[in-house]
C-alpha cells in the first residue's frame, strides 16, 4: 500500500501544470486562440497527449520516483515485499556514512564519492581548455567549407562506441602499449610507466569520451558572436587574452555552462571509462552502484547510492551556475 | 606580419595535435586488427592477417548481441520518434511558464546519468509489472532496454524536431485551413512533410544512440545481452585483436556513412537552391503580369 503513494506526486504535478496553463491562457487573452483539441483535431490531440503522458509518466517520472522509494526500503526478497518487513527506513543512506557491519565511518565510499565528483570536475576543466581554441577557431576564423569538414572529422570518431574507444586507449596506454614502447625506445624510461594504475588512463579516457559534448555547445555559442565586436576590441588596443576574457567568454557563457554541465554529468555518471581504464585501486562511484546491483544484489542500497550521486551532481552544478551567474534556463536552451 | 604567421603556425599545430588525439587511438587500434600477435599490438608489425575478422564472425555471443541491439534500436525508433514529435507539437502550443515546467521534465533525462535511468527503469517495471500482473510482457531485457533508452532518446528527438518546427510558417497552415482542409489534414499533408527531414535525422540519431548505449542498457538488459554489453565483458576479461577488428568495421561504416551524408547534403542544397531560384523567377513573372494587367484594361 505504501508503495502506491508515489502516484500522488505526478497527479499533483499534472494538476499544477493544468492550473498554470489555464491561468496563463486567461492572462494572455487572445481571441484568435483555439483550444488544443480544436487546433489538432480530437483524435490527433488525444494521440499527442497520450504519447507525451506515456513518456513523461512511465519512462521518466514514475521510474525516478520508484527508485527513490526503493532507496527508503530495506533489502528484501520478492516474497517479503508488501509484507510486515516492508517498512520505510533510512538504513541505506546511513550505510553510506557508517559501515553497517562494524559501525566505522565508511571512508571507502565517502572517498569514492568525492573522488568521482572532483575528477569529473577536473575532466570538465580539461575539456574546456582543449576545446575552446578549436571552437573559437571554427566559429570565427574558418571558412564554411573548412568548418564543415572539421565538423565531420569531429563526429566520425564518435560513431565508434564508448567501449571500443576505451579499449583503443587501453591499447595505447597499457604497460606493453605503444606509448610505453616509444618512451622506452627513446630511452626516456627504463621500466614501462603505469598509466592505467595511476589514473592517467582514467582522465584521458573520460576527456576523450566527452570531447564532442563540450565542442558543440561551445561552437554554437561562439559562432553567433558578431565579428565586429572582436574587431572593435582589437582596434581599441585590447590584447588577445583580454578579447577572450572580456568579449568572447562573457558572450559565450551560456554555451560554456551547458557544455560544462553536460561533460560533468556524463563523466560523473560514466561507467565504461572507470571500468576499463581506471587503476585497480580506484573506486569510481558508479562502479560501486554497479556492484551493489550485480554482486551484492542489494538494490535498495544501490538505489540510495544512485540517488546520492544524482543529488550530489545536481547540487554541484547548481552551485557552479550560481558562482558563474548563469541561469539554468540559459543552460538548457 | 611575422607575429601573425607565428599565430597561424601555432593554430595549425594545435589543430593537428587535436585531431591526432582524436584519431590516433583509433588508428593504432585499427593496425592491431591486421597484425598477427594475439595480444593486440601495432608495433612491431609481424605479419598481415584477416584472421581476427573470421574470429569475430564466429563469436556467437557477439552475433546474438548484435541481433538484440538491432531489435532494441528499431524498438527505440518506434517509441522515440512519435513521442518526440508529439512532445514537440505540445511544446509549441503551450504558454510561457507552463512551457518551462514542461521543458524541465522532458529534458531532464538528457542530463541524468545513464546508470540512474537504467536502475530506475528496472525497479519501476519490476514493481509495476508485478502489480498489474504483466510481468511476462514487460519485465524482459529487450523491453526494459527499449523503455530505458527511449526515456532520454525521446528527448533528443524532441530537440531535433523542435528545432525544425520552430521554422514552420504558420501561414501555410492558415492557407490550408482557408482552402477548406481539416486540422488532421493539415497535420498529415502540410506539417508532416515539412518535418520529414527532422524526423529522418531523429530516427537515425535514435538508432545510433541506442546501438552504442552502455550505461543504461547494462542494467536494463537484465540477463540478456546486447553487442555493447558483450563487448564490455570481453574488454573486462582481457584484450583480443578481434575487438579491434570490430572497431575497424564500425569505423569503416562510419566513414562510409559520413561521406554518404555529405554527398546527400550537397545534392539537397543544390536542389533547394535551384527551387528557390525558380520560385523567384516565377514570382517575378507573376508580378510583371500583374502590373501589365491594369494597363491592358
The answer to whether residues B156 and B87 belong to one domain is: yes
Contact A306, B263 (CB under 8 A): no
Domain assignment present for B284: no
Q: What does the radius of gyration of chain A's CA atoms come to, in whole angstroms?
A: 25
Task: Tell me the nearest-neighbour CA distance from B96 into chain A, angstroms.
Answer: 8
Q: What is the pLDDT of residues B177-188, one digit of tens each?
A: 889 888 888 888
Cα–Cα dist A33/A19, whole Å = 18
B195 and B116 both lie in a single domain: yes
Residues of B in Cβ contact (< 8 Å) with A21: 94-95, 98
pTM assigned to the model: 0.85
Size of interface A-B (CB pairs under 8 A): 251
Q: Based on the structure, what is the number of domains in chain B? A: 2
Given an 8 Å threshold on Cβ–Cβ distance, is B187 in contact with A25?
Answer: no
Q: Smallest Cα–Cα separation from B245: which of B13, B78, B32?
A: B32
pLDDT of residue A282: 80
Last residue of a domain, one of B220, B244, B268: B244
- Of the ranges A30-39, A293-302, B84-93, B231-240, which one carries the lowest mean pLDDT score? A30-39
| pLDDT of the residue at A119 | 92
Q: What percent of chain B has pLDDT over 70?
A: 96
- Name the residue with higher pLDDT: B76 or B166: B76
Scanning A66-125 for CB atoms below 8 A from B yields 66-67, 70
- Overall average pLDDT of the B197-210 stretch: 89
Same domain, yes or no: B210 and B119: yes
The answer to the question of residue B123 being in a domain is: yes
**Rounded Cα gap, residues A76 and A74, in angstroms:** 6
Asked whether the predicted pLDDT for residue B151 surpasses 90, the reply is yes
**Residue B76 belongs to domain with CATH number:** 1.10.3720.10
Q: Which helix (H) or strand (E) holds B136?
A: helix B135-138
In this structure, whether the domain defined by A107-331 belongs to CATH 1.20.210.10 is answered with: no
Residue numbers in chain A where pLDDT is lower than 50: 1
Give the end of a domain, one of B196, B218, B244: B244
Domain that holds residue B10: 1-49
- Closest in B187, B218, B247 to A168, CB measured: B247
Residue B68 lies in a domain: yes
Task: Give the sign of the dihedral formed by CA A288, CA A291, CA A293, CA A297.
Answer: negative
> Do B106 and B223 lie in a common domain?
yes
Residue B162 domain-assigned? yes
CA distance B188 to chain A (A): 10
User: Which pLDDT score, from 0 to 100, does residue B85 have?
Assistant: 94
Task: State how far the Cα of B145 lies from the Cα of B139, in Å rounded to an integer.
Answer: 10
Q: Which of A133, A172, A272 sits opposite B232 (nearest CB)?
A: A272
Q: Specify whether B152 is located in the same domain as B34.
A: no
B163 and B20 within one domain: no
Amino acid A127: pLDDT: 93
pLDDT score for B297: 41
> Three-state SS across A220-240?
HHHHCCCHHHHHHHHHCCCCH
- B207 and B95 fall within a common domain: yes
More confident residue, B99 or A132: A132
Q: Based on the domain organization, do B115 and B216 belong to the same domain?
A: yes
- Contact indicator for B191, B92 with CB cutoff of 8 Å: no
ipTM: 0.85
From B223, B244, B265, the end of a domain falls on B244
Within-domain flag for B253: no
Report pLDDT for B143: 92
- Does residue B296 have a pLDDT over 50? no
B59 and B197 housed in the same domain: yes
- Pair B12, B3: CB distance under 8 Å: no
Please give the share of chain B, as a percent, with pLDDT higher than 90: 20
Q: Are residues B39 and B112 in the same domain?
A: no
The arithmetic mean of pLDDT across residues B115-134, rounded, is 88
pLDDT at res. A55: 92
Q: Is residue B274 part of a domain?
A: no
Q: Do B121 and B65 fall into the same domain?
A: yes
Using a 10 angstrom Cβ sphere, with 0-12 exposed, 13-18 middle and 19 or more buried, the burial of residue A212 is: middle
Amino acid at each position: 500500500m505504501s508503495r502506491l503513494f508515489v502516484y500522488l506526486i505526478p497527479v499533483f504535478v499534472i494538476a499544477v501544470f493544468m492550473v498554470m496553463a489555464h491561468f496563463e491562457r486567461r492572462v494572455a487573452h487572445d481571441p484568435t486562440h483555439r483550444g488544443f483539441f480544436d487546433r489538432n483535431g480530437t483524435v490527433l490531440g488525444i494521440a499527442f497527449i497520450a504519447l507525451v503522458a506515456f513518456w513523461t509518466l512511465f519512462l521518466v517520472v514514475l521510474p525516478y520516483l520508484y527508485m527513490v522509494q526503493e532507496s527508503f526500503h530495506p533489502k528484501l526478497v520478492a516474497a517479503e515485499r508488501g509484507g510486515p518487513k516492508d517498512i520505510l527506513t533510512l538504513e541505506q543512506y546511513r550505510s553510506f556514512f557508517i559501515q553497517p557491519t562494524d559501525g566505522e565511518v565508511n571512508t571507502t565510499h565517502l572517498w569514492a564519492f568525492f573522488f568521482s565528483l572532483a575528477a569529473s570536475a577536473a575532466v570538465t576543466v580539461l575539456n574546456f581548455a582543449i576545446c575552446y581554441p578549436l571552437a573559437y577557431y571554427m566559429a570565427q576564423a574558418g571558412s564554411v567549407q573548412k568548418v564543415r569538414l572539421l565538423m565531420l572529422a569531429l563526429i566520425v570518431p564518435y560513431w565508434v562506441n564508448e567501449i571500443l574507444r576505451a579499449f583503443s586507449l587501453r591499447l595505447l596506454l597499457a604497460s606493453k602499449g605503444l606509448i610505453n614502447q616509444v618512451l622506452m625506445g627513446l630511452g626516456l624510461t627504463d621500466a614501462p610507466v603505469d598509466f592505467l594504475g595511476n589514473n592517467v588512463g582514467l582522465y584521458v579516457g573520460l576527456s576523450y569520451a566527452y570531447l564532442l559534448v563540450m565542442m558543440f555547445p561551445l561552437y554554437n555559442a561562439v559562432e553567433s558572436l558578431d565579428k565586429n565586436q572582436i574587431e572593435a576590441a582589437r582596434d581599441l588596443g585590447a590584447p588577445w587574452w583580454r578579447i577572450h576574457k572580456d568579449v568572447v567568454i562573457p558572450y559565450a557563457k551560456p554555451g560554456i555552462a551547458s557544455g560544462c554541465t553536460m561533460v560533468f554529468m556524463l563523466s560523473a555518471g560514466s561507467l565504461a571509462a572507470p571500468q576499463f581504464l581506471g587503476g585497480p585501486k580506484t573506486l569510481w562511484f558508479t562502479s560501486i552502484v554497479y556492484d551493489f546491483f550485480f554482486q551484492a544484489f542489494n538494490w535498495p542500497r544501490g538505489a540510495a547510492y544512485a540517488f546520492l550521486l544524482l543529488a550530489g551532481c545536481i547540487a554541484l552544478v547548481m552551485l557552479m551556475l550560481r558562482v558563474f551567474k548563469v541561469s539554468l534556463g540559459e543552460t538548457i536552451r | 606580419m611575422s607575429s601573425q604567421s607565428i599565430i597561424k603556425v601555432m593554430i595549425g599545430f594545435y589543430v593537428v595535435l587535436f585531431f591526432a588525439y582524436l584519431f590516433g587511438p583509433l588508428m593504432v587500434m585499427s593496425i592491431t586488427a591486421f597484425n598477427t600477435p594475439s595480444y593486440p599490438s601495432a608495433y612491431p608489425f609481424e605479419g598481415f592477417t584477416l584472421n581476427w575478422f573470421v574470429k569475430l564472425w564466429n563469436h556467437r555471443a557477439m552475433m546474438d548481441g548484435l541481433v538484440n541491439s538491432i531489435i532494441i534500436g528499431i524498438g527505440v525508433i518506434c517509441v522515440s520518434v512519435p513521442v518526440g514529435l508529439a512532445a514537440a507539437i505540445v511544446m509549441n502550443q503551450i504558454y510561457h511558464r507552463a512551457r518551462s515546467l514542461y521543458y524541465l521534465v522532458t529534458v531532464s533525462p538528457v542530463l541524468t546519468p545513464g546508470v540512474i535511468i537504467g536502475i530506475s527503469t528496472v525497479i519501476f517495471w519490476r514493481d509495476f509489472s508485478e502489480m498489474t500482473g504483466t510481468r511476462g510482457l514487460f519485465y524482459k531485457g529487450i523491453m526494459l532496454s527499449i523503455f530505458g533508452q527511449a526515456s532520454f532518446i525521446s528527448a533528443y528527438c524532441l530537440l531535433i524536431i523542435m528545432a525544425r518546427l520552430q521554422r514552420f510558417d504558420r501561414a501555410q497552415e492558415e492557407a490550408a485551413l482557408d482552402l477548406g482542409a481539416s486540422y488532421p489534414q493539415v497535420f498529415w499533408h502540410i506539417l508532416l512533410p515539412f518535418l520529414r527531414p527532422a524526423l529522418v535525422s531523429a530516427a537515425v540519431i535514435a538508432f545510433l544512440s541506442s546501438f552504442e548505449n552502455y550505461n543504461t542498457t547494462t542494467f536494463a538488459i537484465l540477463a540478456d545481452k546486447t553487442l555493447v554489453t558483450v563487448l564490455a565483458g570481453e574488454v573486462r576479461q582481457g584484450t583480443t585483436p578481434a575487438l579491434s577488428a570490430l572497431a575497424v568495421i564500425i569505423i569503416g561504416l562510419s566513414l562510409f556513412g559520413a561521406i554518404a551524408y555529405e554527398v546527400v547534403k550537397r545534392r539537397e542544397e543544390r536542389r533547394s537552391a535551384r527551387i528557390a531560384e525558380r520560385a523567384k523567377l516565377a514570382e517575378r513573372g507573376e508580378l510583371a503580369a500583374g502590373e501589365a494587367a491594369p494597363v491592358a484594361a
